[in-house]
Every structure is written in structure tokens, then in C-alpha cells.
Structure 1
Amino acid sequence: MLSPSEVVPWLEQLEALESALPKNNKGQPNQNWAKAWHLAVKTLRLRDWQGFLKSGLAQALYKKPPSYQRVELPPNWQKVLQTLNDHALAFELSSLARQTQATFELLQRFDQHYTRLRQAHQLMLFADLPELLARRLPHIPEMQTELYYRLDARVQHLLLDEFQDTSLDQWQVLEPIAQEVASVGDSSRTFFCVGDVKQAIYAWRGGCAELFDKVTMDLHLQDHQSSLTKSYRSSEVVLETVNQVFSGLGSNLALANDEEVAMNWQHRFERHEAAKIYPAMWNW
């Protein structure tokens, strides 16, 4: 990020480029370019970095090749605009980082105060349980042994739905039980989980879709898994849209910065189809 004094010469260079504006057939400055140049200079003079980043000339840098109104940006234009664009972007990101840090500190202080109030009133939320168990059980071996011994004696079948929303804390608590249940060779005890990684939208509250792979490896379930690619509740039109979206993730421009992840996801995706359900026939 440039210092305030370092910005000035770059702004002056952009101002000097007015004489180098592309010309129209009459030899006059192209009006679209002139307006874009005026807007860029105006926002920079006002130190309106966000406004500059949204301006036409700044946006032109992201085209291949960099161009505005189908006219490629000359090298000297690219150098000046890129330098100012990098500074504006760094300034805005720095501002957002400070805002995020301040928000985090505020929420952290609120959480501490809120937790103290709940403890004072002896209140516990359901969401507190997995967090407390995951954090404290490993440090109290005798309690951990006793708890899992009692649960193991009572739990014969462990069934988990919407598994893509399971958090690491939740799984850390459940894993010893799952390990015990899955280790039985006969069908007297069973482990079953079902979920859809395409619906893994709760990472913000701890959901971890990567657990599917971890569970498969840790519980040795490689030969005991199946994909449900036939849907009984969605139409062909809906599923075809799903297929188009998820089978083309590798070429999705919105994921250009995460191409490797997108390609891995695409390779593992299996096309879906709608089940053919016909009206029931009743015999009276």
C-alpha cells in the first residue's frame, strides 16, 4: 500500500494521460474514455478508493487483455492504473480487516459477558453440550471412560442424519461410540450416517462436510458406502439443473481462484436422476 505522499505522483501521471486519450474518427478524444478518465481522476482526488475500484478504467484491468470500450489499454495506462488499483484494493482490504477485527472483539466481549450471566443463572443451551464435552472430556480420563462405558452398554445402533452439518466438536464426542459400534462384525450393532455434501451450507456454525472422508477412513467403511443418485422428490428439470451446475464446477469462472478444489469436487460428483413414479392403481 502506498503512503499518502506516494499516491500523489501516480495520480499526476494519470492526470497527464488526458492528452493520450484515444481519439475518434474526427480526431477528438473518445467521449466514453474521457468520461471514464474524469471519473477515475475525481474519485482518486477525493481518496474515494471504493469508487475508483468500481470505475470503468479500474474494472478494465480485469479483462483479458485489459481493455475499455473494446480498446486495449496502452502499457503506460496499464502501469499507472494497476499501481493505483493495487493501492486502492489494499486500502479497502485493510479497512475491512480493521472492521472485522473490531467486530470480533465486540462479539468476543459480548460472548464472555453472556456466558457469565448464563453461568450465574445456571442456564445451559443445547449448543453448549458438544462444545463443553469436546473441550473438557479429554482432560478428565476417568469421567470419559465412565461416560462412554455407560453409553456403549446402551447404544446398539448409531444413526446420524444430515451428516454434512456435523461439526468437529460433535464428531469428537460421538467418535468413540461410533468406533465401538462399527467394530462389531455381525449385525447386532450398526453405524449408519447419511448426508449430502451439496447441502453443506452450515460451515459458519461448525458444519464440516470433510468428515465424510474422515469417517470412512477411521471406521474402515470403504466397502460399506453407497451413493443415492436417484431422487424420489425432485423432478427431472430440477435435477438436470443440479447436474449442469455441479458437473461444470471446474470451468466455473466464479471458482477460478479455487480451480483445484473445484475440479476435485467435479470428479467426485455423480449425476442425479429422477425416479419414475407412476400413479397408483387401486383394485376394489
Structure 2
Amino acid sequence: MNSTTMTNSTINMATRFPNSLIRASAGTGKTYQLSNRYLQLILSGHPADRILAVTFTRKAAGEILERILFRLAAGAVDERSAEQLAQQLDLPQLTLQECRRVLRQLTRSFHRLRVNTLDAFFLKAAQSLSLELGLPPNWQIVDDVSRYQLQQQAVASLLEQQESGNILKIMHWLSKGETSRSVSRLINETVDGMYSIFLDSPPEAWHRLKPHPTLLAEEVEAHRLGLQEWIENGAGSDRLKSEVKKLADMMEAGDWEEFVESTISRSIFTGKLTYYSKPLPESLLYNLRPLAYEMQAQLNNQYVKQLLGSFELLACYDAQVQALKTELRSFEFHDLPRSLGRLEKSARWQQLSYRLDSAIESLLLDEFQDTSMDQWLAVRPFARHATANVAERTFFCVGDVKQAIYGWRGGNADLLDGIVDELPDVTDMQLDTSYRSSQPVIDVVNRVNRGLGQYPNLAAADVAVRHWVENFPEHTTARNDLAGYVQIETVEPSDDTDHGRELTIAKAVERVEELRAVAPHLSIALLFRKNAQVGRAIYLLQQRGIPASEEGGSSLCDSAAVQLIESLLTLADYPADTAARFHLAQSPWSTALRLESHRSDTAAQRLARDTRELLLDRG
């Protein structure tokens, strides 16, 4: 087993660095703190290949590695810079010669450094323990297209193997009795929305919600007639009667959810029994109260059926898709941490050190708020190993629940709070001083987040809002030298349709144009919730002559050059494709490709042959 040891360090390798959890708000120096710990370790003689630093994106991993190398290189320039680095790292014995020696060793063993994304680490680990994990030989990770095809195959197999009566029962439960959607579409929607939840939860969780007793049909009808009588002849204000009439219509339409969420129903459930601060008449409550609880029971029982139907469907789907994955030797990234997590209770995970060519003694976790339970279970054995009371080991974790953005893929910010309880001797620290933002920006951040409880449109999330406000720390800034200005504008509310979103994007582009007219030297950032909106904004900006670049996961296929490459590959596969021929013949590449007319079969066949030969020759 090889090891990239920083030999002959003038700093004692027995130096014990504390196990740390740092809750770092945006701009407070998170990457700086993580690079500090990494540099402290390697400058103290810890082998670089026994330190694992993981984050979520390749870009973030690159930034961490860049920060480590640049800071070490800066310390190797002269005595003054070495002293400055020594002060930053709290390593008073650090010398210029030590910085240069470690930098030289680090660059020579660059290929053994472990600054990775979680996905990359899990992939490497799974490849090293394929047999122990029960993975077939020559398995691979599928792309999005193959993943979709795999899902469709599993759905088709499910429909073939399940009895029609059982499928119809499950579909009835899932669709609330409606028949407007196709069976395959409903199954795909359930898989897309709930399969990851199914994998993360035990079977008993799906059976925890129990049915509520309901009234007899005769009792419901009697109370309904009594309610109608009160609406027509009972003692009450016109406003109250109008609201009760709406409830009666909801009940008639079977709109139980709207009924249960109404102001009057909530007043009954909480025991307030008021409407606009006035007591509800007892003559009204005699019929409305049992009806409200009946609607609540019906809604609960509908949820019970949906949960049971979802569980049965997902269990059947899981059996089919797992069998297909093994048969086709094709897996998804999320399969890897789940498989690795199952090794913790056995001694097999310890074999990973041998398979990876060196043990992992120190673990540095970045952006921990976006870690899923499966990912944590896969990493936890290494975290427990790193927090053992041994000088050569250390654990370092940074995260911020306010920046959790991967809930859609299973990210669980609550795990951050459990670190201190689950691992021994972990120091919990908070960083809330920004080195990026001006005082006006920080003031608005504090004001908005501390005042969320005053907005009535957030009433439905009252518990979550209160928890957020109570736990939101006061932010400060070290950049009092920066001028700043904050203005919050809103656009007219629009519906959540393509047209509504288009209006919002157009308004943002108009605002950019106005700002550029006043201050053309400014660099302006536009932030969107979805990548698809970025491309549209770029197009509108370019239409107005405003130069703009995009950062984020936009499709490569939006590039004109990439579209030409696609046409060239299409032509190589099928020379008779006239659309690809026309695209290439009308492009700036036509002369270089010797395809100046899309009508020439000879030229198209020659280009297809040349392209295939080039691919065979160069790969």
C-alpha cells in the first residue's frame, strides 16, 4: 500500500486538530476554513492520500483544490508570505523551506490527492468493492436517456406480471377514483415523485396513517339537510351564511380538502369556534361540526388509500427495476451510496482502504446540508473512524441549512444538527460574519428572515416559519468599506404557466436594460429558479443587444456549434438524412466539409464515410 507522506515535517504529526462542525453562512469563508484544515494536516506531515475532502459539484471540488494549492504556493514565495500563512494556520513553526518542500511533494503526487465530489468517491468505492456489494461484472452508470428507458421497461414488466384486478385497485386508490389519466402515465408520475422516498423509508412508515371512523350515509344526509335549513332560515350574518354556503357546495362537490382547510373548519378543529372574532351559533355547530369532522375523516381515509396504493405500486416497481438493473448491468448514481451504506454493519467496508490503495484517516465534508441519508450512511463509517481519539485522524464538516438546495434529490439538512450527537468530541461553531456583502445587504437579509412570521401568506407553514425565525442567526459583515444599496421590486402576479413565466422573465430583462442605460459599466446578475429559464433570458438579452453569459446546467444542445456536430454525427450514421445534410450545407462549415449542396448524394456519402473513419481512427 502506497502513501503520499509529507516526510520530515518540522511540525509534529501528533498535533491534534479538533473535530469540527462549522455552520458557515454564505460569504463567511467556508472554503477558506476547509482549506485551512487541509493545509494544517499536510504541513503537519499527514499523508495527502489519507485525507478525503468531498463536496457536491466538480466546480466546488476544483475551487477547494485550487485554494489549497494557491495558498500553499503563496506561502512558498518568500519569508514574509510563509509567516503570513503560518499565522493563518496557527502553525508558528512553519517555515518557507517547509512550504516549498510540501508544495513540491504535493504536486509530484497530484494524482493521489482526494478532493472529490461525493458521486466520484462513491463510484470509485463501488468499483473497488463490486463483488462485496453484489454488483455484476462490468457494470456501468446510465445516462438520463438510458435511465428513462430502464424505467419504461420496468413499468412495462410491472403491468405484464401484475394481475389486472390488483393494478386497477391500486390505480383507483392513487387517482382518487378519477379515470382521466392513463395507467402508465400515473405509474410514471408516482415513480418520479415518490420512488426515492420509498427507498429511504421503512415499510412501516407507509402504514403509520390509520383510517378514521366515518358517519353512516343517513347521518351525513341528515346533517347536510340541517345545514341547508340553517343557511335558509338560521340566525347568522349574511357574511357567515355566504361562507357556510360555500362549505355546503364543497361538500356536494366532494372537495374535502378545500372544506377542511377553510377558515371555519380550522376554527372548529382548534376549538376556537369563532368567525371574524364572533362565536359560531350553536344552531350552526350542531350540524356543521359533525360534517367538518366527517370531511376530515374522508380526506384522511383517502390519504391512507393513496399511501397504501403508492407503497404497493412502488414495491412492485422496485422489484422489477432492480432485476433489470442487474440483468442489464446498468445502475444509477443513487444506487451506489445505498449499496455502500449496507456495508457499515459488516467488516467489509474496512477492505475499502486496501482496495483504494490507502486508508482514509481524515475526512473533510463540504456543503453537508445537501447530503442525503443514503450518502451519510455510506460516509458515516469513515466519519466514525476519523473521530476516533487518534492524533493522526480528524473530522471537519462545514454546512449551512439556509443554503440547502438539493432537497429534490434527497438532501436532508436536518443531518447537520445530528452530527454533534452522533459523533464524539465534535466542536460546533457558527460563522455569520460575511466577507462578501455590504452592510445594507446584510441588513435586508436579517430583516427579511427575522420577519417571516408577519406574512399571512405563510400561515400554512406556521411551524416551519417559527422554527426558521427562532434559529436564524444575526448576520454581520466585515466589509464596512463597501457601499451598498438594496431595492426589492415585485412584478404583477402571474399564473404558473409558460405565458406567466415569460412575462416575468421579460420584466427582468427590461429592468436590466434600464440599469445599463444609467450605468453601462455595471456587471448585473440575474438569478432564476430553473435552468430552462436562463436560456430564455439570454435570448431576450441578446435580442436587445446586451452581451450576456450563462452559468448553470444549460443544455449543450442550445449551442449552434454543438447542433452542427449533432448533424454531422447523424449524417455519419445515416447519409440520407436530408435535414442533417441541409443543416451542414448551409453552415459556415460547408466548405471545410466539402458539402456545398445538400442535394449531392455522393458528397454526403463521402462525408459520412470520412467521419466514421475519423471516429475509428481517433476515437
TM-score normalised by structure 1 residue count: 0.72
2:366 to 132, 157, 161: 161
User: In 1, Cα distance between the equivalents of 2:401 and 2:354?
Assistant: 32
- Structure 2 match to 1:271: 474
Conserved 8 A contact 2:370-2:411: yes
1:7 aligns with 220
How far residue 3 of structure 1 moved from its aligned partner, in angstroms, is 2.1
Structure 2 counterpart of 1:115, from 322, 347, 352: 322
Of 94, 106, 127, the residue aligned with 2:334 is 127
- Output the aligned Cα RMSD: 3.7
Q: CA deviation at 1:87?
A: 0.7
Aligned in 2, Cα 1:44/1:130: closer, same or farther, shift over 3 Å? closer
Residue 172 (str. 1) matches residue 377 (str. 2)? yes
Q: CA deviation at 1:159?
A: 1.6
Q: CA deviation at 1:86?
A: 1.2
The answer to whether the 8 Å contact 1:131/1:170 transfers is yes
**Higher RCO, Cα 8 Å, sep 6+:** 2
**2:305 & 2:355 partners in 1: Cα distance?**
49
Structure 1: where are the runs of 5+ without partners?
23-29, 280-284
Q: What CA distance in whole angstroms lies between the structure 2 residues aligned with 1:45 and 1:255? A: 28
Q: 1:276 to 1:62 in 2, by over 3 A?
A: farther
- CA-CA distance at 1:161 after TM superposition: 1.1
Instruction: Provide Cα deviations, 1:24-83, integer angstroms capped at 9, x if missing partner.
Output: xxxxxx544454444444444555545644677656657955126x75421221232121
2:432 to 206, 209, 229: 229
Q: Distance in 2 between matches of 1:31 and 1:215?
A: 56
Corresponding residue for residue 292 of structure 2: 85
Q: Is the 8 A contact 2:437 2:479 kept in 1?
A: no
Q: 1:19 to 1:119 in 2, by over 3 A?
A: same
Selected match of 2:387 from 173, 182, 189:
182
* Range that drifts further, 191-200 or 99-108: 99-108
* Distance of 1:176 and 1:37 partners within structure 2: 58
C-alpha change, 1:269 and 1:155, in structure 2 (3 Å) is: same
- Structure 2 unaligned runs (5+)? 1-213, 483-619
Q: Which of 157-166 and 42-51 deviates more?
A: 42-51
2: distance between equivalents of 1:196 and 1:183? 25
Aligned-residue identity in percent: 34
- 1:163 CA drift (Å): 0.5
Contact 2:436–2:479 (CA<8 Å) still a contact in 1?
no
| Matching residue within 205, 212, 215 for 2:416 | 212
Residue 229 of structure 1, CA deviation:
0.4
1:229–1:270: 8 Å Cα contact kept in structure 2?
A: yes
For the pair 1:193 / 2:363, whether they are aligned, the reply is no
1:26 is aligned to none
The verdict on how the C-alpha distance between 1:253 and 1:33 changes in structure 2, with shifts beyond 3 A counting, is closer
Which deviates more, 129-138 or 40-49? 40-49
Q: 1:90 to 1:183 in 2, by over 3 A?
A: same
How far 1:145 sits from its partner (Å)?
3.1
Structure 2 residue matching 1:110: 3-state secondary structure:
helix
Cα gap change, 1:106/1:275 in structure 2, threshold over 3 Å: closer, same or farther?
A: farther
CA distance in 1, matches of 2:389, 2:356: 16
Aligned residues: 264
Q: Secondary structure at the match of 1:138?
A: coil
Q: What's the counterpart of residue 19 of structure 1?
A: 233
Structure 1 distance, partners of 2:450, 2:374, is 32
| TM-score for both structures, normalised by structure 2 | 0.37
